[in-house]
Structure 1
Amino acid sequence: MSPAGPLGPVTRRRPVDDPAVRLFLFHHAGGSHLLYRGWTRHFPEDWDICLLDAPGRGNAQALPLIGDCADLVAFFDEALTPLLDRPFAFFGHSVGARVAYEFACRLVESGREPPLWLGVSSFRSPQRGVSGPPLSRRLTTDAELRDWLWATGGVPEKLLTDDSLWQAFSPVMRSDLGLADTWDRDTPGPPLPVPLTVFRGTEDTVMAGHTLDGWPRLTDNFLGAHAYPGDHFYLNDHREALIERITETVLALPAARPESG
């Protein structure tokens, strides 16, 4: 299956074969490419916007869930490599931020071209010695997981109240929380040679602002942090402002500027 086709891990609403920038958008735990529904039309027309689905959801629903962090990054590496032939950038929200970061690390470690920019939203930076039990072990029952999802938002009400939908959704959510717990205990590597920007919601109760403070140490070119009013899913209420910030940030990078004739 072609990664650029109508089904599979990559959805391209407006494919651009020779783009100025190819932007990959990584979704949150339990989510899919639908987090970014409606985003494509707000980016420049010469950008190729690639909405991603991890296995087991969205347009990659037929693929088995991946429960190991390294295997998930390897999956995206294989799927996206054919599309890394143009200047490209990564943006990830929540767990998607860590997926994007780990993928960027993999590219650097293997001597390949890294993304020209990395945007991380609403997820703590890698850190050593995280205390306390992982989230997946604190939400052991369906009731606990449902209550937590009610409180954090971002999940359609029907998924939490319809038992048949919940039975299909809960294994995906638990798999993703397990991934997050694994990454949360990784020792961070050296600073990436990739410009990095942090985004968050000011009332986020899932990822408090101070948990994102370590990101500047993981890049040799920190471009700043931007906070928007709202909770963990602040981006749903500030889509156009966030997209404008992403676009301006990437276009200001020397690697994204068109060559003069």
Structure 2
Amino acid sequence: MAKPVEDDSLWIRRFHPRPDSEVRLVCLPHAGGSASFYFPMSDMMGTSVEVLSVQYPGRQDRRAEPCISSIPELADLVAAALVPWADRPLVFFGHSMGATLGFEVARRLERDHGIVLVGLFASARRAPSRKRHETVHQRDDRGIITELQRLSGTNSQIMGDEELLRMVLPAIRADYRAAETYEYDPGPKLRCPIVSLVGDDDPKVTMDEARAWGEHTESSFDFQVFPGGHFYLASHQSEIVNAISDHVLTQLRLKPSQ
């Protein structure tokens, strides 16, 4: 297995390097999101877990690069970027589109590299096998902005700055296209545990759609509901950090007996 480079790669951001950590938590942003969305989670995480945040093309320091509007294509690239970081156990946390992407990356790591995650945390997203017909990516700019306002997922400062907003809209549109055109390809279940998390007032996912993540693993499954909407996690950072830490500790204790 290749050794990770000392500096962050094109795809990976380490806001708080923890060279002595036992596990690496890989965070995958939502549609239109950037690696910096997970800075607070990285800051709050204990020393035993090093947080890596994935940076998609077309935003922030990668704004000049073409956006990728296909989950399978994005998953291929993210999986390749993560292989060098798998010298320690990996756990994924993906929010919204990031949950679907995390699932597909986990499939590729298992299938192509024999890397089984410590766990996959799927936040605010229906299970891959649950399809909805959605066309937000086909709307004009105003229509996409209306959707963002409905979900309260974009920083209010950006929403009030038309120039900034127009800079990020291409990435948001590409991500929505990737998420909304995704087609689940049936295959083997993941070998890692899955934890599905959802807000109780999320318009983008029902309880049944979120609970259906349990159908995608041959390992353990847990389902957790929080007060809030699609971005419930903004108000529950400490609970989520604790849930991840507890899960990692439990899985590491179980590993020798498996």
Q: TM-score, normalised by structure 2?
A: 0.90
Instruction: Please give the secondary structure, in 2, of the residue aligned with 1:200.
Output: strand
- Higher mean C-alpha displacement, 105-114 vs 231-240: 105-114
- Higher mean C-alpha displacement, 114-123 vs 155-164: 155-164
Q: Identify the residue that residue 59 of structure 2 maps to in structure 1.
A: 57
Q: Identify the residue that residue 5 of structure 1 maps to in structure 2.
A: 7
Matched ranges for 1:127-206 at <5 A: 127=129, 130=131, 132-137=133-138, 140-183=139-182, 185-206=183-204
Q: Is the 1:119–1:196 contact (alpha carbons within 8 Å) kept by the matching residues of 2?
A: yes
What is the identity percentage for the equivalent residue pairs of Structure 1 and Structure 2?
Answer: 28
Q: CA RMSD in A?
A: 2.2
Measured in 1, the distance between the counterparts of 2:82 and 2:53 equals 11
Would the alpha carbon gap of residues 4 and 10 (structure 1) be closer, same or farther in structure 2, given more than 3 Å must change?
farther
Q: Is the 1:18–1:86 contact (alpha carbons within 8 Å) kept by the matching residues of 2?
A: no
Measured in 1, the distance between the counterparts of 2:152 and 2:132 equals 25
Q: Is the 1:121–1:198 contact (alpha carbons within 8 Å) kept by the matching residues of 2?
A: yes
Would the alpha carbon gap of residues 178 and 216 (structure 1) be closer, same or farther in structure 2, given more than 3 Å must change?
same
Measured in 2, the distance between the counterparts of 1:85 and 1:19 equals 11
**In the TM superposition, what is the alpha-carbon distance from 1:103 to its structure 2 partner?**
0.3
Letter in 2 for 1:150: Q
Q: Identify the residue that residue 122 of structure 1 maps to in structure 2.
A: 124
Cα deviation code 1:33-70 (max 9, x no counterpart): 12212222322213211111111123433432112222
Aligned length: 254
**In the TM superposition, what is the alpha-carbon distance from 1:6 to its structure 2 partner?**
5.1
Would the alpha carbon gap of residues 225 and 133 (structure 1) be closer, same or farther in structure 2, given more than 3 Å must change?
closer
Q: Is the 1:116–1:255 contact (alpha carbons within 8 Å) kept by the matching residues of 2?
A: no
Would the alpha carbon gap of residues 16 and 100 (structure 1) be closer, same or farther in structure 2, given more than 3 Å must change?
same
2:247 maps to which of 246, 249, 254 = 249
Would the alpha carbon gap of residues 203 and 147 (structure 1) be closer, same or farther in structure 2, given more than 3 Å must change?
same
Q: Is the 1:92–1:121 contact (alpha carbons within 8 Å) kept by the matching residues of 2?
A: yes
Measured in 1, the distance between the counterparts of 2:103 and 2:32 equals 18
Q: Is the 2:197–2:210 contact (alpha carbons within 8 Å) kept by the matching residues of 1?
A: no
Letter in 1 for 2:157: K
Gap runs ≥5 in structure 2: none
Would the alpha carbon gap of residues 39 and 133 (structure 1) be closer, same or farther in structure 2, given more than 3 Å must change?
closer
Q: Is the 2:196–2:224 contact (alpha carbons within 8 Å) kept by the matching residues of 1?
A: yes
Measured in 2, the distance between the counterparts of 1:4 and 1:95 equals 29
Matched ranges for 1:215-254 at <5 A: 215-254=213-252
Instruction: Please give the secondary structure, in 2, of the residue aligned with 1:215.
Output: helix
Q: Is the 1:124–1:211 contact (alpha carbons within 8 Å) kept by the matching residues of 2?
A: yes
Q: Identify the residue that residue 214 of structure 1 maps to in structure 2.
A: 212
Cα deviation code 1:69-96 (max 9, x no counterpart): 2221121122222111111111101000
Q: TM-score, normalised by structure 1?
A: 0.89
Measured in 1, the distance between the counterparts of 2:222 and 2:252 equals 17
Letter in 2 for 1:250: V
- Higher mean C-alpha displacement, 147-156 vs 59-68: 59-68
Q: Is the 2:30–2:98 contact (alpha carbons within 8 Å) kept by the matching residues of 1?
A: yes
**In the TM superposition, what is the alpha-carbon distance from 1:156 to its structure 2 partner?**
1.4
Letter in 1 for 2:24: R
Letter in 2 for 1:177: Y
Measured in 1, the distance between the counterparts of 2:245 and 2:133 equals 38
Gap runs ≥5 in structure 1: none
Would the alpha carbon gap of residues 69 and 44 (structure 1) be closer, same or farther in structure 2, given more than 3 Å must change?
same
Q: Is the 1:34–1:58 contact (alpha carbons within 8 Å) kept by the matching residues of 2?
A: no
Instruction: Please give the secondary structure, in 1, of the residue aligned with 2:181.
Output: helix
